Amino acid sequence: MSSSLFQLGRKKFLRAPQLEAKFTIKILMGLVILYFAGSFLFAGVVIYPALSKKFLEQDAISIINSFLVLIFAFELIIRYFLQQLPVTEIKSFLLLSIPKKRIIRNVLLRSLITIYNVIPFLLYLPISIAMFNDDYLLSQVFAWWVSLALLSLSINFITILVNKNNKVLATFVLVFIFVYVVEYYSETEILRSTGHFFDSLLAHPILVLLPASIFLGLYFITFKFLKININLEGSLVAKTGVANAERYNFLNVFRPHALFLKNDLRLIVRNIRPRNIVLASFLFLFYGLAFFPSIEYQSAFFIPFASIFITGGFLLTFGNYVPAWDSEYYPFLMCQNLSYKQYLDSKWRLMTFAVLVSTVLSIPYIYFGVDIYLMILSGAFFNIGLGTWITLYGGLLNKQPLKLNVKAKAFENTQAFSGKQFLMILPKMILPVLLYLIPAQVFNSTVGLITLASSGILGIIFKNQILNQMVKLFVKEKHQTLQAFTQK
């Protein structure tokens, strides 16, 4: 019985419409997966010997241990956004004579077979092997690796338990960032002290029982959770909450665009997928923290690169799916007496607004130097003037519909991702870097900043002309887009 449940899962995968997506996309996604797998593997192989060489007086493994908590937090966030529970098909099994326990066990086991759960093998296993070669006992290495694998899998269950609860995630992220910042600047050990646990794991391998009991405990809690909720009214099925009757009348000042802006705001607030994307774009604000503090990254290439991302998070994530956000009711829109120009203009305004907000929110980056903030500012100009249009152009060519109220599936999800779009990402990343870098190399960095900013200002000056071209493209693609969006 259980094997037939697995077979259904396999068929669902093999017969999914995504699998029939264009061949190029499959290759692209394959490359992306290979890239990440390769990076993890590379990190796993290289990190231990590299650290041993660099820090002679410290244990390489205890440095790694002190960073594990960061990796786990990152893993949790990524899984939260991208990992999908295989629960969608539960509904049809509820009426068949299969014991509930078996269905749940199957769901839980199947949730373990995801791309994320190979991380322990790619990242931690090579480290373990390096440790073994470095005179650690097999029992120590084994305890260490098994503990990490079990904790990684525990995160898998935590993801299920917090499923769809954005408040829990937001609290977690905020607390985590707060603790991290405090630790970074006050030289106290809060997060890093968790490393001591992994250190003692090596001293007393028997401690592996602790992660093991966490894993088992979470398994049973999740099991119970699903058992209570596995009915048509439980939390697995989308809830019908009370509608939020906010009228957003403050947007009326933006007439005649208010109509579309209001709808876009409702779209974002009331649907799972756009909400997650906006939350994710908020995280882009912290992108600079990864680059600016460390001296090695203060290179000419990475600073403009990071600056574009800090203010462009929403732009990239939202703009790529215009008009796919409206795909569920696209035929309706195309029958209405609406001005395409106003429609696209309001999307532009929304993105511009997001860039402006991010620019204000990124003021704290002045801490790293006025130069860096000026870079962010000229990046913001570029984003408003050109970034928006490049993203919109890519979005208009996108022919994959979006399901609004469903979570995105990682890697399996080639929906809303096309080869053309992939090509559109390149100019978005490379163009601003070149616009800054070339004049900065030939003259000086001030000229670079001015060039980058004025390219954006040009885009704003010629907004009307660009918008007209966008409308032309929009009309030209109308029937093809309609056909693609209405295909079920």
Partner 1 sequence: MIKTNSLTKIYGDKTALSIDQLEIPTGQSFGLVGNNGAGKTTFFSLLLDLIKASSGEIISNKIAVAISEEWKNFTSAFIDDSFLIGYLTPEEYFYFVGSLRGIDQKEIDLFLEAYADFFNDEILNQKKYLRDFSKGNQKKVGLVATFIGKPKVIILDEPFANLDPTTQIKLKQLIHKKSEDKELTLLISSHDLNHLTEVCNRIVLLEKGSVIMDKETTAKTLQELEDYFSA
Which residues of the shown chain bind partner 1 in the complex (CB under 8 A)?
240, 242-243, 245, 259, 263, 266-267, 270-271, 328-332, 334-338, 404-405, 479, 482-483, 486
We find the least distance from the C-beta atom of residue 384 to partner 1, in angstroms, to be 27
Residues 6+ apart with CB under 8 A from 236: 87, 90, 226, 229, 230
Nearer to partner 1, 240 or 464 (CB): 240
Nearer to partner 1, 196 or 478 (CB): 478
Nearer to partner 1, 270 or 463 (CB): 270
Rounded distance, CA 11 to CA 8, Å? Answer: 5
Nearer to partner 1, 17 or 38 (CB): 17
Rounded distance, CA 367 to CA 340, Å? Answer: 43
We find the least distance from the C-beta atom of residue 262 to partner 1, in angstroms, to be 8
**Selection from 112, 153, 110, 90 nearest residue 6 by Cα:** 110
* 228 exposure class (CB count in 10 Å sphere: 0-12, 13-18, 19+): exposed
Torsion of CA 213, 123, 58, 155, to 10 degrees: -30
Rounded distance, CA 362 to CA 68, Å? Answer: 28
Collapsing DSSP to helix, strand or coil, 121 comes out as helix
In the block, tokens 């912290």 appear at 286
We find the least distance from the C-beta atom of residue 160 to partner 1, in angstroms, to be 24
We find the least distance from the C-beta atom of residue 240 to partner 1, in angstroms, to be 4
We find the least distance from the C-beta atom of residue 258 to partner 1, in angstroms, to be 9
3-state helix, strand, coil in the chain (%, to 5): 80, 0, 20
Residues 6+ apart with CB under 8 A from 153: 112, 117, 120, 215
Nearer to partner 1, 125 or 467 (CB): 467
We find the least distance from the C-beta atom of residue 341 to partner 1, in angstroms, to be 12
- Cα 85–chain centre separation: 17
Rounded distance, CA 390 to CA 384, Å? Answer: 10
51, 63 contact by CB (below 8 A): yes
Q: What count of Cα atoms within 13 Å lies in the side-chain half-sphere of residue 187?
A: 0
Nearer to partner 1, 220 or 329 (CB): 329
Helices (H), 336-418: 340-361, 370-382, 388-397
We find the least distance from the C-beta atom of residue 254 to partner 1, in angstroms, to be 13
Nearer to partner 1, 323 or 387 (CB): 323
We find the least distance from the C-beta atom of residue 43 to partner 1, in angstroms, to be 41
We find the least distance from the C-beta atom of residue 346 to partner 1, in angstroms, to be 13
Nearer to partner 1, 33 or 482 (CB): 482
Nearer to partner 1, 39 or 480 (CB): 480
We find the least distance from the C-beta atom of residue 58 to partner 1, in angstroms, to be 54
Q: What count of Cα atoms within 13 Å lies in the side-chain half-sphere of residue 62?
A: 12
Nearer to partner 1, 200 or 486 (CB): 486
Rounded distance, CA 158 to CA 114, Å? Answer: 15
Nearer to partner 1, 170 or 338 (CB): 338
306, 287 contact by CB (below 8 A): yes
Report residue 443 as tokens.
């003259």
We find the least distance from the C-beta atom of residue 439 to partner 1, in angstroms, to be 44
Collapsing DSSP to helix, strand or coil, 162 comes out as coil
